[in-house]
Structure 1
Amino acid sequence: MNENADLRVPVLIVGGSLVGLSTSLFLSRLGVRHLLVEKHSSTSTHPRGRGNNVRTMEVFRTAGAEQLIRDAASVLADNHGILQAGSLTGDDQEWLFKEIDPGGGLARFSPSGWCLCSQNDLEPVLVTHARAQGSELRFSTELLSFEQDADGVTAVVKDRETGEHTTVRADYLVAADGPRSPVREQLGIGQTGPGDLFHNVSITFRSRRLASVVGDRRFIVCYLTNPEADGALLPVDNVERWVFHAPWQPDRGETLEDFTDERCAEHIRKAVGAPDLDVEITGKAPWHAAERVAERYGSGRVFLAGDSAHEMSPTGAFGSNTGIQDAHNLAWKLAAVLDEAAGPGLLRTYEAERLPVARATSARASARSSEHSHPGYAGSPGPGNGRKGGMLTVALGYRYARGAVLGADPDLPVVPEGMGLTGEPGTRAPHMWLGRAGGRVSTLDLYEKSFVLLCDARYQEWRPAAEQVAKRLSVPLQAFGIGSAPGADLESEDGADWAASHGTSAEGAVLVRPDGFVAWRSESAAADPEATLYEVMMTLLHRD
């Protein structure tokens, strides 16, 4: 215990990019006081990391940020497909896919959808929304050192503008400090995986005539495959601001200084197939695609999240999404332990659940790069489950075989072959529309700040049992009776059978965690619902 700390907080977050800011937002929504420190003076200014998958948008929906993000991303709302072409002016062109959600089939699974919002547009939204929820965010503030003991973590941070040092005492530290994480290094946590996959230089530029060359092809990205000038072209505003990812070969002695404005402009003209194209280079930033996953997700009272825990090929935008979902998984567990609703053992389930997901997802990301012939990537997917599961299944259908779940099948793969969210323990709870007080909500809107027990309104045993268990354990637990019977809390829309969609019977019940994953279900009536639910909650929450 450090008695001389300048500041005491339950959680210290190191890193203020997408994952750190998301962690801050989720903790604030759950009422957990914390401090976030970020060494840079502001959020990202480079348009990158634009793909936000459906699961990420779901968690932002429950955090009240989805519409704010869509508003910030409105300029790219009509960009959907991925084009591969020898040039934009020739005949060698093929859509790898033209629509993210052809036919609108995603609506069966989710109230949300994919969203293109570049990191430089998304991060300011998270900053504003997190601060509105009570988050304390300090930019230009760098972690200098930390040490942990049995009771907490003592860190020294430095204000890079004033030079002032502050000693912070926290119960827990979350390291969202990037792929070269100093926190991970100090903890001595190694990494597994192939390592570096390829290197690119991300070039931002202006071109007013490029929009007429692109025409009505509203792509997310276009892979340009001219062997003399390959790369990836991405629109920023579909009008005059663009990004081009050019392959970089540092292993062959190529340096960043070799990427002069003149060389970059000529490379872009040749790749696009428009030799007279106006090109004004506005910025250049190197980036490295890699496949690495930490051997552990933390040590003691320190946890890794985002790129500090895993690096993935950018194809499919899996990396930042996996990191944001790390944060969502960890936040409710920290809140439960800090509120003494759960024992410290609950925090061990963070690694048990998220590490297998990172391994499976990183393999799929590398496979996706091979399938799309990503410029600069010469690899091929390795053995195992890298190719298994489509984009939606990887983004939404993954499962937790072990952790804070009861009744999950440990022999099933983390990412299944096909999409099927049917209420199995360890999977994201099914989405269905419900009527409530004259309005309309998704089942997913019910899950954020408490455990939720779904049951049939016609059967009276489960709701009072949940109320008694919540009182006995002093835990947030809500029960909702669904149906058209008198006293129902929620009504299924169009007569949909909530029990069938959740893999149970009308006499059964489904327990959903605050992060929207099914923790347990009873497929039939229980002889003693209160005793059954009490034991389930005691086990899930690692209560003695």
Structure 2
Amino acid sequence: MNENVDHRVPVLIVGGSLVGLSTSLFLSRLGVRHLLVEKHAGTSTHPRGRGNNVRTMELFRTAGAESLIRDAASVLADNHGILQAASLTGDDQEWLFKEIDPGGGLARFSPSGWCLCSQNDLEPVLVDHARAQGSDLRFSAELLNFDQDTDGVTAVVKDRETGEHTTVRADYLVAADGPRSPIREQLRIGQTGPGDLFHNVSITFRSRDLAAVVGERRFIVCYLTNPDADGALLPVDNEERWVFHAPWKPDLGETLEDFTDERCAEHIRRAVGAPGLDVEITGKAPWHAAERVAERYGAGRVFLAGDSAHEMSPTGAFGSNTGIQDGHNLAWKLAAVVGGEAGPGLLETYEAERLPVARETSARASTRSQEHSHPGYAGTPGPVGGRKGGMLTVALGYRYVRGAVLGADPDLPVVPEGMDLRGEPGTRAPHLWVRRDGERLSTLDLYERSFVLLCDAAHTEWRAAAGRVAEKLGIRLDAYTLGAGPEADLVTENGADWAAAHGTGADGAVLVRPDAFVAWRSPGAVPDAETVLRDALATLLHRA
């Protein structure tokens, strides 16, 4: 190891976009000291990556950021549907769906909901909130090189403003450095999948008159299908700021220079169906849609997260959400290992859990692009819909069939055909509204900084066993009794049966991980609750 180290930290994060910033926030919430370096001078200035699904918003809720994000996203709070139209002025128009959550059915599964917050609005919220939690975020700081050994990672970081070089020594490195990840390349980790799907140029523009053309149609995105001028129109403020994704064909020799302001403005007018529309081009950014998943999620003490681990078609915003959920999965495991509560083997479960999810989700994102006829996407031969599972199921209903779970069926599909959140090991724990000392909260609000054991108020032997196990293993383990009466730590609303909701009997118990996934459950009483619980936790935490 190089002893000429300027900075020592348990975790180094490379990349300060959505995934890196989210991972930093999650680590800070867990008390893990770390450093994040980002080569750009600041956060994104381009309105993209706007769809934050319900699972991601649950994570931000637990991290104390949900209300801040919704405030930043308030201008688009009433935009819900996806419209497909030959133009906005003709009759050939169809809502692919008009409401994200028609009938409010999502409330059965979650205390949170979808949120439309563009990356340029979301990232500053994450920066401020992460720093308030203690995150060390350094922009204009570029990773030049790194080496790892059996004890850690040594990295050289350049300050792009001063030219100063800093040597950082970390126990672990998280690579959130994008789809062309230099870190992944250095690790020689290959990728699988079809590869490039299509290319677009994202055009930001101002138009005072477009709001009148759009009228009361409050869409998230409108796919405009004029064969001479197709594209995707997205509102930024529903008034005069807009984004248009225009197909780009570099494989046919088309260059970015071909997208002049005049061409872009005329393309938008034809697509919208308003020849005299005022259009002021304010920016252009190329982007590439692809379906690729890394063959591994890391090597040694280096872990991939976000686009460095997977690229997905943008339809449904699965890529950024999957990446943020990568970071959350990894953060609690790093915290457990760095804090001495778990053995390093726990970190091997990161790939075992997240890689199958990425493969399934990326395939569904491509299918959704084909279903929505995303501009520029030709699709693949064969019928649409080979991958089952609706959008909510993909976002919230996925399961870990292997990893830091006990009792999961490895033969079950990672993404089921329908929502099935009934407390099975490897699935996100059920949401129930409860009251604690008069305060209303979701059971999901309990899960962040420790394992949690749920048991019945009439069967307190599990809670007593949890206290003894926590002391003997030297870990934090919170235990709560649930029931309808005042003797319960958590009083369920409307007399709800917590045990039935979690697939166990009243004399059983459910062990939930810090990321709200069920780690293990006992359907009923056991002769020696302490031994059973201790063995389960020791196995889950890879304690020798």
How far does the alpha carbon of each residue in 1:477-523 deviate from its partner, in whole angstroms, 9 at most, with x for none? 10000014453211010000000000000000000000000000000
Structure 1 SS opposite 2:99:
coil
Structure 1 CA distance for aligned equivalents of residues 500 and 460 of structure 2 = 19
Match of 2:411 in 1: 411
Residues 384/521 of structure 1: CA separation in 2 closer, same or farther (3 Å cut)? farther
Structure 2 CA distance for aligned equivalents of residues 382 and 330 of structure 1 = 36
Structure 2 CA distance for aligned equivalents of residues 474 and 277 of structure 1 = 67
Residues 333/382 of structure 1: CA separation in 2 closer, same or farther (3 Å cut)? farther
Structure 1 CA distance for aligned equivalents of residues 381 and 389 of structure 2 = 14
Residues 381/357 of structure 1: CA separation in 2 closer, same or farther (3 Å cut)? farther
Amino-acid identity (%): 84
Shift of 1:385: 8.3
How far does the alpha carbon of each residue in 1:216-238 deviate from its partner, in whole angstroms, 9 at most, with x for none? 00000000000000000000000
Match of 1:321 in 2: 321
Residue 308 (1) aligns with residue 328 (2): no
Name the aligned partner's letter for residue 222 of structure 1: C
Match of 1:460 in 2: 460
Structure 2 CA distance for aligned equivalents of residues 72 and 408 of structure 1 = 39
What does 1:131-146 align with in structure 2 at a 5 Å threshold? 131-146=131-146
Residue 450 (1) aligns with residue 450 (2): yes
Structure 1 CA distance for aligned equivalents of residues 16 and 535 of structure 2 = 39
What does 1:512-527 align with in structure 2 at a 5 Å threshold? 512-527=512-527
Name the aligned partner's letter for residue 107 of structure 1: A
Residues 383/185 of structure 1: CA separation in 2 closer, same or farther (3 Å cut)? farther
Structure 1 CA distance for aligned equivalents of residues 12 and 381 of structure 2 = 38
Match of 2:169 in 1: 169
Structure 1 SS opposite 2:489:
coil
Residues 385/327 of structure 1: CA separation in 2 closer, same or farther (3 Å cut)? farther
Cα RMSD (Å): 1.0
Name the aligned partner's letter for residue 31 of structure 2: G
Residues 486/224 of structure 1: CA separation in 2 closer, same or farther (3 Å cut)? closer
Per mean C-alpha deviation after superposition, the further-off stretch among 473-482 and 77-86 is 473-482
Residue correspondences, number: 544
Match of 1:90 in 2: 90
Structure 2 SS opposite 1:223:
strand
State the TM-score, normalizing by the size of structure 2.
0.99
Residue 280 (1) aligns with residue 280 (2): yes
Name the aligned partner's letter for residue 522 of structure 1: S
Is the contact between residue 231 and residue 245 of structure 2 (CA under 8 Å) also seen in structure 1?
yes
Is the contact between residue 433 and residue 493 of structure 2 (CA under 8 Å) also seen in structure 1?
yes
How far does the alpha carbon of each residue in 1:129-186 deviate from its partner, in whole angstroms, 9 at most, with x for none? 0000000000000000000000000000000000000000000000000000000000
Is the contact between residue 363 and residue 386 of structure 1 (CA under 8 Å) also seen in structure 2?
no
Shift of 1:476: 1.3
Structure 1 SS opposite 2:374:
coil
Is the contact between residue 432 and residue 442 of structure 1 (CA under 8 Å) also seen in structure 2?
yes
Name the aligned partner's letter for residue 44 of structure 2: S
How far does the alpha carbon of each residue in 1:453-494 deviate from its partner, in whole angstroms, 9 at most, with x for none? 000011121001000111111111100000144532110100
Structure 2 SS opposite 1:398:
coil
Structure 1 CA distance for aligned equivalents of residues 532 and 384 of structure 2 = 39
Structure 2 CA distance for aligned equivalents of residues 460 and 51 of structure 1 = 43
Match of 2:156 in 1: 156
Structure 1 SS opposite 2:268:
helix
Is the contact between residue 360 and residue 385 of structure 1 (CA under 8 Å) also seen in structure 2?
no
Structure 1 CA distance for aligned equivalents of residues 381 and 38 of structure 2 = 35
Match of 1:531 in 2: 531
Is the contact between residue 370 and residue 381 of structure 1 (CA under 8 Å) also seen in structure 2?
no
Structure 1 CA distance for aligned equivalents of residues 186 and 219 of structure 2 = 42
Structure 1 CA distance for aligned equivalents of residues 218 and 380 of structure 2 = 29
Structure 1 SS opposite 2:172:
strand
Structure 2 CA distance for aligned equivalents of residues 269 and 387 of structure 1 = 36
Match of 2:26 in 1: 26
Structure 2 CA distance for aligned equivalents of residues 397 and 38 of structure 1 = 33
Residues 383/148 of structure 1: CA separation in 2 closer, same or farther (3 Å cut)? farther
Residue 295 (1) aligns with residue 304 (2): no
Match of 2:108 in 1: 108
Residue 218 (1) aligns with residue 221 (2): no
Structure 2 CA distance for aligned equivalents of residues 277 and 185 of structure 1 = 46
Match of 1:41 in 2: 41
Match of 1:251 in 2: 251
What does 1:491-506 align with in structure 2 at a 5 Å threshold? 491-506=491-506
What does 1:390-429 align with in structure 2 at a 5 Å threshold? 390-429=390-429
Match of 1:477 in 2: 477
Is the contact between residue 184 and residue 304 of structure 1 (CA under 8 Å) also seen in structure 2?
yes
Mind listing any 5+ residue stretches in structure 2 that lack a counterpart? none
Is the contact between residue 155 and residue 169 of structure 1 (CA under 8 Å) also seen in structure 2?
yes
Mind listing any 5+ residue stretches in structure 1 that lack a counterpart? none
Shift of 1:384: 11
Name the aligned partner's letter for residue 69 of structure 1: I
Match of 2:8 in 1: 8
Is the contact between residue 364 and residue 386 of structure 1 (CA under 8 Å) also seen in structure 2?
no
Match of 2:265 in 1: 265
Structure 2 SS opposite 1:374:
coil
Name the aligned partner's letter for residue 236 of structure 2: V
Shift of 1:382: 6.7
Residues 77/486 of structure 1: CA separation in 2 closer, same or farther (3 Å cut)? closer
Match of 1:186 in 2: 186
Structure 1 CA distance for aligned equivalents of residues 15 and 382 of structure 2 = 32
Is the contact between residue 14 and residue 143 of structure 2 (CA under 8 Å) also seen in structure 1?
yes
Residues 297/4 of structure 1: CA separation in 2 closer, same or farther (3 Å cut)? same
How far does the alpha carbon of each residue in 1:50-102 deviate from its partner, in whole angstroms, 9 at most, with x for none? 00000000000000000000000000000000000000000000000000000
